[in-house]
A and B are shown apart, each in its own frame.
Chain A
Amino acid sequence: MNDMRLTERNMTDHKIKMQARGVDVFYGHDQAIKNVDVDIEDNTVTAFIGPSGCGKSTFLRCLNRMNDTIDVCRVTGDIRLDDEDIYDPQVDPVQLRAKVGMVFQKPNPFPKSIYDNVAYGPKIHGLATNKAELDEIVEKSLRRAAIWDEAKDRLDQPGTGLSGGQQQRLCIARAVATNPEVLLMDEPCSALDPIATAQVEELIDELRERFSVVIVTHSMQQAARVSQKTAFFHLGELVEYGETSQIFTNPQDTRTESYITGRIG
């Protein structure tokens, strides 16, 4: 019976967008991530789950080299985006982050207007040659983030004046405005109420059509709802990675089973 469902889900066979092999992360002398291998597929939502401190956020931040900003953090191993090593000395993290966008746990719009929030990325990367193009990008991004209708009449008002859920969707609009290939989301709904959470989850499912989405979440229900692939992290190790349906219904590892049934975590 389980096998039946597995094959059902397996039908969507996408190409691999990001590939991590033997990734170790150290904070000073402490090892936060131990030898992680993951393949992230295109047009797929991949969820990272696991108890607090298991390293799922740390690993997520390796994928766009946000860990570079932490002095004591050291990453070894091989992470590739479209077969290009992102930790190659010739790769500029700035360039990488234009291709791998990020949405953070706490909504963090710039204290600027809604328009400027979304236009900032395209502006610094030179994606628009004139105002009309920029306007178009802003509108498209806000529409993709499902906040256009709420924001269109107040584009010149500060983004910080929006509600929490709206702010988070604005941050998603800001992240998709540079037209990234991968979108990283670090517990994007943890500061939101259930209604806003539902809106953002719906949005994530839509975003899958254009991007490869990686989401870190504490909520197993959320992982089950939005993701096709799930990776379970425990104490810095990737314990199990596979089809979401399989992880939640037929986990291979006892630790995964204990976590999803609520016995550890």
Chain B
Amino acid sequence: MTDITPNDARKASNNATTEAVKRSLARRNRKQLVLQGFGIGAIVIAFTVLFILVASLVRTGYTAFVQTHVTLDVYIDPAEISEEGLPRGGFRDVLTAAVLDNLPGADPEEDARGVRNILSNGAQFQLRDQIVEDPSLIGQTITLTVPLSDPFDQLNKGGVRRDTPEDQRRVDNQEMAWFDALDEAGIISTPFNIGLFTNADSRFPELAGLKGALVGSFWALLTCFLIAFPIGIGAAIYLEEFAPKNRLSDFIEVNINNLAAVPSVVFGLLALAVFIGWFGLPRSAPFVGGLTLALMTMPTIIIATRAALKAVPPSIREAALGVGASKHQVVFQHVLPLAMPGILTGTIIGLAQALGETAPLLLIGMNAFITSAPTSPFDAATALPTQIFIWADSPERGFTSRTSAAILVLLGFLVMMNGIAIYLRNKFERRW
């Protein structure tokens, strides 16, 4: 009974181990649960914040995607508009008369001024353009759909509340009655706001659009890509594949990494001093914006490219060297093609960052008020983020919703670019 066989001793020690593991197991499992809980909590918080952001943008911005229009039968009165006197034609009066036709209660003399303000200031130019194109319309009655001015647009979309006391409301009772009359006549419509994408900036919110900003951003990004991509890849290939590893290359590497962390406003100041002040390039031009963004994007591309080159397994390099490929053949025929998806992903993410960059563009004057889209990268223009900046500064209610709408458009482009990056990464992902 007292003698313990070796077998018993082993059993006892086994049991001790089992007990010890059991005791610590509960503690370890608890720790894992806590960690998991933190992780899930973090994700929930992140998504909630994101949801609130997007939801608030959509809530304020969705009204900018539709625009209140009125459809009028306009009699082009030859007394007001003649072919010879087109530039001085009374387009506005003709339109006002057309609105008055639908408002039996309004006095053509006394109320003309008030009624005129129902239509957007851009309506007369729309009519003029149409008649300049086809002068035979003079003397005829045409059907024309024109935007309403911002206060009435807001009244229709609910931006101006009807229960506000009259003295605090932008639309007085008389104007409200006119609008209701037009609405009852069934000529008010709220179609999709194409103007948001086809118009350039304007003083009048109902006419302001993103075309100038979109074209400006396009030129800036194109310039940025054409400059940053080849230079960035070239620098990365040299540093990673050819440069001797010494103090100088270490120094360069540290500086490139630091460059990626330099605040963007500093690049803007640099661009202002060098590109505009010294080289004499035009102010507010997307080309200069692109150059500035290229300075910022280049470190990102260099870092991404170096990481992608490093990720190509050494066995592939050895294989190529082993059959007698020269150094540049190894790099350009084997390593670079394999690193391309990583490089492209990094580049697109760099460009997406550049698309949203505001501060450097403010400093080179891309926040100017420009009412036509640029036709070349050297014309003055705005970019999407600076356009948002300008609109956010404007007091009219119409610009509030347009600011949110522009942010949504910008976010849309960012999501699209990141989507392309993910697609490329997945498509070309390789296993060795």
Chain A residues in contact with chain B, CB under 8 A?
Answer: 64, 66, 69, 71, 94-98, 101-104, 106, 108-111, 120-121, 124-125, 160, 171, 174-175, 177-178
What would 7 more interface pairs be, CB under 8 Å, given A111-B432, A121-B324? A66-B318, A97-B321, A102-B318, A104-B318, A109-B319, A124-B323, A174-B323
**Chain B hits for A171, CB < 8 A:** 319
How many Å lie between the Cα of A97 and that of B329 in the bound state?
14
1/0 contact trace for B260-291 toward A, CB 8 Å? 00000000000000000000000000000000
Chain B residues in contact with chain A, CB under 8 A?
Answer: 244-245, 313, 315-326, 329, 334, 338, 430-432
- Complex: chain A residue closest to B329, CB-CB: A124
Q: Are B324 and A110 in contact (CB under 8 A)?
A: no
Q: Are A106 and B326 in contact (CB under 8 A)?
A: no
**Chain A hits for B432, CB < 8 A:** 111, 160
* CB of B316 to closest CB in A, whole Å: 6
Question: Which of B315, B323, B430 has its CB near the most chain A CB atoms (within 10 A)?
Answer: B323
Known: A71-B245, A124-B329. A108 touches B318 (CB 8 A): yes
How many Å lie between the Cα of A102 and that of B324 in the bound state?
10
Q: Are A111 and B324 in contact (CB under 8 A)?
A: no
- Complex: chain B residue closest to A99, CB-CB: B324
How many Å lie between the Cα of A71 and that of B319 in the bound state?
18
Known: A71-B245, A124-B329. A178 touches B323 (CB 8 A): yes
Q: Are A104 and B320 in contact (CB under 8 A)?
A: no
Residue from A69, A95, A104, A106 within 8 A of B324 (CB atoms)? A95
Q: Are A101 and B329 in contact (CB under 8 A)?
A: no
Residue from B317, B325, B430 within 8 A of A124 (CB atoms)? B325
Residue from A95, A104, A124, A178 within 8 A of B315 (CB atoms)? A104
How many Å lie between the Cα of A101 and that of B244 in the bound state?
27
How many Å lie between the Cα of A80 and that of B245 in the bound state?
30
How many Å lie between the Cα of A104 and that of B315 in the bound state?
8
* CB of B332 to closest CB in A, whole Å: 11
Total CB contacts across the A-B interface at under 8 A? 64
**Chain A hits for B326, CB < 8 A:** 94
In the complex, 5 of the A-B residue pairs with CB atoms within 8 angstroms, ordered by the A residue number, are A94-B324, A110-B320, A111-B316, A125-B324, A178-B323
* CB of B335 to closest CB in A, whole Å: 11
How many Å lie between the Cα of A121 and that of B326 in the bound state?
11
Q: Are B316 and A106 in contact (CB under 8 A)?
A: no
**Chain B hits for A71, CB < 8 A:** 244-245
Q: Are B244 and A121 in contact (CB under 8 A)?
A: no
Q: Are B316 and A110 in contact (CB under 8 A)?
A: yes
**Chain B hits for A69, CB < 8 A:** 317-318, 321
* CB of B331 to closest CB in A, whole Å: 12
Q: Are B430 and A111 in contact (CB under 8 A)?
A: yes
- Complex: chain A residue closest to B334, CB-CB: A110
* CB of A213 to closest CB in B, whole Å: 15
Residue from B317, B323, B431 within 8 A of A101 (CB atoms)? B323
How many Å lie between the Cα of A97 and that of B319 in the bound state?
11
Q: Are B319 and A98 in contact (CB under 8 A)?
A: no
**Chain B hits for A120, CB < 8 A:** 320, 323, 325
Q: Are B322 and A104 in contact (CB under 8 A)?
A: yes
How many Å lie between the Cα of A120 and that of B317 in the bound state?
13
* CB of A134 to closest CB in B, whole Å: 14
Q: Are A111 and B338 in contact (CB under 8 A)?
A: yes
Question: Which of A64, A95, A102, A160 has its CB near the most chain B CB atoms (within 10 A)?
Answer: A102
**Chain A hits for B329, CB < 8 A:** 124
**Chain B hits for A111, CB < 8 A:** 316, 338, 430, 432
- Complex: chain B residue closest to A96, CB-CB: B324
* CB of B282 to closest CB in A, whole Å: 47
How many Å lie between the Cα of A7 and that of B244 in the bound state?
52
- Complex: chain A residue closest to B330, CB-CB: A69
- Complex: chain A residue closest to B323, CB-CB: A121
- Complex: chain B residue closest to A64, CB-CB: B322
* CB of A97 to closest CB in B, whole Å: 4
Known: A71-B244, A124-B329. A108 touches B315 (CB 8 A): yes
* CB of A150 to closest CB in B, whole Å: 20
Give 7 closest A-B pairs by Cβ, nearest first. A121-B323, A108-B315, A98-B324, A102-B322, A97-B324, A108-B319, A94-B326
* CB of A96 to closest CB in B, whole Å: 8
Q: Are B244 and A97 in contact (CB under 8 A)?
A: no
How many Å lie between the Cα of A95 and that of B431 in the bound state?
31
**Chain B hits for A66, CB < 8 A:** 318, 321-322
* CB of B367 to closest CB in A, whole Å: 48
Question: Which of B316, B318, B334, B338 has its CB near the most chain A CB atoms (within 10 A)?
Answer: B318
How many Å lie between the Cα of A96 and that of B322 in the bound state?
10
Q: Are A106 and B322 in contact (CB under 8 A)?
A: no
* CB of A94 to closest CB in B, whole Å: 5
How many Å lie between the Cα of A178 and that of B244 in the bound state?
30
**Chain A hits for B313, CB < 8 A:** 108
**Chain B hits for A125, CB < 8 A:** 324
How many Å lie between the Cα of A66 and that of B330 in the bound state?
14
How many Å lie between the Cα of A129 and that of B126 in the bound state?
69
How many Å lie between the Cα of A94 and that of B328 in the bound state?
11
**Chain A hits for B325, CB < 8 A:** 94, 120, 124
* CB of A122 to closest CB in B, whole Å: 9
* CB of A105 to closest CB in B, whole Å: 9
**Chain B hits for A96, CB < 8 A:** 324
